[in-house]
């Protein structure tokens, strides 16, 4: 039986972002929390431990495998914590209202209609409730994107450069997060950014890095219609990491409070 539900020290990605989330979150015993894109339960287990049996945590994730793994870890413990399969973009209308809505590394999955998804989440907040979301913001791995763009230009890869530029400019920024919370009528809006260095070696270690390949390096490969060319290009990139390391992800945490008077929030 697990008795310590603190954030795991051996997770180099989810835990640092969750620490940023918890820095902004004001949590109380008895709070009812909706945790979106809950993944492997960081920080859902910690949140449930903090609110206690007087409260509740509903943790949803679109991937059934993640939900099943989290349920397996939970076992019969923390019965006021529920892991369910669900899409945060299309939550059922009959969900109750929550004191807190959290989402660790969630906001990047709101695309392409980030403001609309954020707006729909606010509908499930109690008056005076708080929302805190984290995501890798614009600026994450900028040194890599700059180097890749230069090498694409050297090779005359015009279409690939345009695709890369479109991907980078689509990433949310701290400015956008703050602006959208304010447009939704949130109070005490705070957005913070903190760098997180990601260590890697050259070659296959870089190309198969668990924090880089999923969702970051894959986006470079997707800029190429010719995957043989993509492999050749990325193999060359991987042998020259000194040109773009150290690599920094930008941890962004966005926080806002719903006014006590619900009518103050725009629909």
CATH 3.40.50.150 domain span(s) along the chain: 14-135+172-196+250-260
pLDDT of residue 266: 47
Q: How far apart are CA 107 and CA 37, in angstroms?
A: 9
State what percent of residues in the chain have pLDDT above 70. Answer: 97
pTM: 0.91
> Tell me: the pLDDT tens digits for 12-47?
999 999 999 999 999 999 999 999 999 999 999 999
What pLDDT was estimated at residue 107? 86
Q: What is the mean pLDDT of residues 140-150?
A: 97
Whose tokens are 């006590």? That residue is 260
* Distance between CA atoms of residues 21 and 35, nearest Å: 12
Query: Distance between CA atoms of 30 and 74, rounded to whole angstroms?
Result: 20
What pLDDT digit, counting tens, does each position of 196-255 carry? 999 999 999 999 999 998 779 999 999 999 999 999 999 999 999 999 999 999 999 999
CATH number assigned to the domain with residue range 14-135+172-196+250-260, chosen from the 4 options 3.90.1150.10, 3.20.20.80, 3.20.20.210, 3.40.50.150: 3.40.50.150
């Amino acid at each position: 039986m697990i008795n310590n539900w603190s954030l795991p020290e051996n997770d180099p990605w989810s835990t640092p972002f969750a620490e940023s989330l918890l820095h902004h979150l004001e949590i109380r015993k008895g709070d009812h929390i909706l945790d979106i894109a809950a993944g492997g339960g960081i920080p859902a287990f910690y949140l449930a431990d903090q609110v206690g049996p007087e409260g509740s945590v509903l943790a949803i994730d679109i991937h059934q495998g993640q939900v099943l793994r989290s349920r397996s870890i939970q076992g019969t413990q923390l019965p006021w914590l529920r892991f369910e399969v669900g899409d945060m973009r299309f939550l059922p209308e009959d969900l109750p209202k929550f004191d807190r809505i959290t989402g660790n590394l969630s906001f990047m999955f709101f695309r392409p209609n980030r403001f609309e998804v954020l707006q729909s989440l606010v509908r499930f907040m109690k008056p005076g409730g708080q929302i805190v979301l984290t995501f890798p913001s614009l600026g994450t791995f900028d040194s890599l994107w700059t180097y890749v763009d230069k090498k694409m230009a050297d090779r005359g890869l015009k279409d690939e450069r345009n695709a890369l530029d479109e991907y980078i400019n689509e990433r949310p920024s701290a400015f956008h997060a703050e602006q959208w919370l304010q447009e939704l009528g949130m109070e005490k809006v705070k957005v913070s950014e903190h760098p997180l260095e990601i260590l890697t070696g050259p070659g296959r270690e870089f190309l198969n890095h668990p924090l880089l390949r999923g969702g970051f390096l894959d986006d470079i490969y997707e800029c190429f219609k010719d995957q043989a060319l993509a492999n050749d290009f990325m193999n060359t990139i991987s042998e020259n990491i000194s040109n773009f390391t150290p690599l920094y992800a930008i941890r962004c945490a966005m926080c806002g409070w719903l006014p006590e008077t619900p009518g103050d929030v725009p629909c």
